[in-house]
Amino acid sequence: MLLANQRIEIDARPTPPAQRVLETVMLGHCPGIAQWQRLAVDELLLTEIASLGFARECARLRELAAGATATAQDIALLALYDLPLPLHSFGQYQSLFPDAFDTDTLYKSVLGGKRAWLPLAVQDFFENSSGSHTLKLWIIRVDETEKQSAFLPVPGANMIEPETLGAFERALLIPRAAIMALPDLERLQIPARLEEIPPLQLGNPEPVFLPCGTEVGDGRREWRNANEIPPMPDPRLSREIIVTIARTMAQHRPDMQCLLSVALAAIPGSERPGPDPEFLKCAAGLAGIKEDGSLNDESRGKLTEAARHLQLLYPYLRGPDRRLGSSAGLVAGMQAAVSQQHGPWRSIGERPLPGRSLPWPPLNQNEATALRNRPGVTVLLYRAGRTVVDDERMCAPLLPAVQLLQLSSERRNDDHWRSAEIMRFMGWLRRELEALGEKMIFDVDPRDPRPEIVLRSFFTRLYTLGALRGRKLDEAFMLTQRNEGESTIAFEIEIAPAYPIDRLRITFMQDRNIAAATVEVGHG
């Protein structure tokens, strides 16, 4: 931003805050030019990006900023494609992509419009940020010409070679990332000619001369009729997207969750679009549980366990001064803010979401309850003059497939097996314990009492903060050291979370090569 006839320039570069409890990563479109020069001279950002394995790209940006001649191989780098960018404020995003809000995208639709959804999602995310509780967001710009493929995992990708990875795999490289959102993938999945309630047809206004750039539309839609939309590619199959994302995340980052909005479709007999029946059927099938509590074929495979990494959202957001957009940015920001202030074990249910955006299409309580129960959707509602999350829900139960088979039909449908905040808490536990193990990577003497002391201190603090239940510490958690050899430290840890879950079983192992933690839900 320039002031006083370009004599004063303000460059938004907030001081990076302390380590965040949860970090979020978003993939999307940023139309227009990228101000790569701002990134090239920001050593703090370049150092953080290089730590993910992109030191070569950061070094090249420095060379180009110093006057080196750009080549054809530098085009993608100068556009900042597929490069994880850490942000601590909305101003940083605006300084890097100043044209993102005002530039048309390649894909256009009646409902989704002709502008990217990532800028709105970034703005929504930082609506939850405050002076004492700043948030951290990573964004990855993807190439519009690659359509949906730019957001999906690359088959056979090698995670130890960053230059061969797609944007999705690069997002998984961020060590403290807990939440992923794909707002522009949701936009591409809206059929181009899908319409809302047909508007009242008014007579054409009298022709008058207007200044260039004056908007003369109806203010609600980009086009009056669906036949005005140029030919656009069809959306991808819902199952293809859901399964690919869930499997890759379960394989490479079992501590992360992906926020994904339920696709829209025309509903027979209704003037307004609604949840895509194919999408809902696919999500319900992945859960492995039928409406009567019996199991389907999916429940006996790994796909049901992978589906727990998806948190489905519905509906979308629209406001009096904003077009239709994804709710993922607002929800992810609230999850990060609540985790930072109160702990990652806290739900965002019934907490008022900031901003003036309203859920669209609007739902009544009966419709919200039906989606929450099956397939398990996190629903946004407008209550008492505020937008809130009805309940954080997942489409797949948290229990492993083996334990799911042991439950009765009634217990399989219990609500607490699908609580999204429990999955978020489990992922945070994995990251914290693995970070703890990395600090003690050279202390691998099983007779050393320090690892047990540190673990007991960690879980005692969780008990003090209210994350664990019990009248005393012995009821809240239990540590048992296992004998795994001379150079390996292993602990079996059982904790009683402050939810209607019987227990979480944690296996913490450390040797000279790696520190790892696994977390699973137990019952009985």
Task: Write out pLDDT tens, residues 64-104.
Answer: 999 999 999 999 999 999 999 999 999 999 999 999 999 99
Question: Domain for residue 9, yes or no?
Answer: no
Question: Domain for residue 47, yes or no?
Answer: no
Question: Domain for residue 350, yes or no?
Answer: yes
Question: Domain for residue 416, yes or no?
Answer: yes
Separation of alpha carbons 189 and 67, rounded Å: 42
Separation of alpha carbons 317 and 328, rounded Å: 9
- Which of 358, 389, 420 is the endpoint of a domain? 389
- Which of 351, 367, 389 is the endpoint of a domain? 389
Domain identity same for 461 and 422:
yes
Question: Domain for residue 63, yes or no?
Answer: no
The pTM is what? 0.87
Residue 404 corresponds to which amino acid?
L
Helices (H), 97-151: 118-127
Segment 21-25 shows an average pLDDT of 95
Residues with Cβ within 8 Å of 9's Cβ and at least 6 positions away in sequence, in order, are 1, 2, 3
- Residue 199: its pLDDT value, please? 54
Domain identity same for 489 and 413:
yes
Do the Cβ atoms of 208 and 164 come closer than 8 Å?
Answer: no
Segment 177-187 shows an average pLDDT of 98
Domain identity same for 373 and 416:
no
Domain identity same for 323 and 356:
yes
- Residue 364: its pLDDT value, please? 92
Question: Domain for residue 170, yes or no?
Answer: yes
Q: Which residue has the tokens 């589906």?
A: 307
Q: How many domains does the chain have?
A: 2
What percentage of residues in the chain have a pLDDT greater than 90? 56
Domain range enclosing 373: 19-34+79-193+233-389
Residue 27 corresponds to which amino acid?
L
Candidates 458, 407, 439; CA nearest to 515 is 439
Candidates 245, 246, 240, 277; CA nearest to 262 is 277
Domain identity same for 30 and 161:
yes
Q: What are phi and psi for residue 29, nearest 5 degrees?
A: -100, 140
pLDDT digits (tens, 9 = 90+) for 235-280: 999 999 999 999 999 999 999 999 999 999 999 888 889 999 999 9
Domain identity same for 418 and 325:
no
The rounded Cα 513 to chain-centroid distance in angstroms is 30
Domain identity same for 159 and 185:
yes
Segment 128-137 shows an average pLDDT of 78
Domain identity same for 414 and 278:
no
Domain identity same for 305 and 164:
yes
- Which of 338, 362, 389 is the endpoint of a domain? 389
pLDDT digits (tens, 9 = 90+) for 322-333: 899 999 999 999
Lowest mean pLDDT segment, chosen from 157-161, 190-194, 300-304, 338-342: 300-304
At 146, is the pLDDT very low, low, confident or very high (cuts 50, 70, 90)?
Answer: very high
Structure tokens, 362 = 């609007």
Segment 294-310 shows an average pLDDT of 72
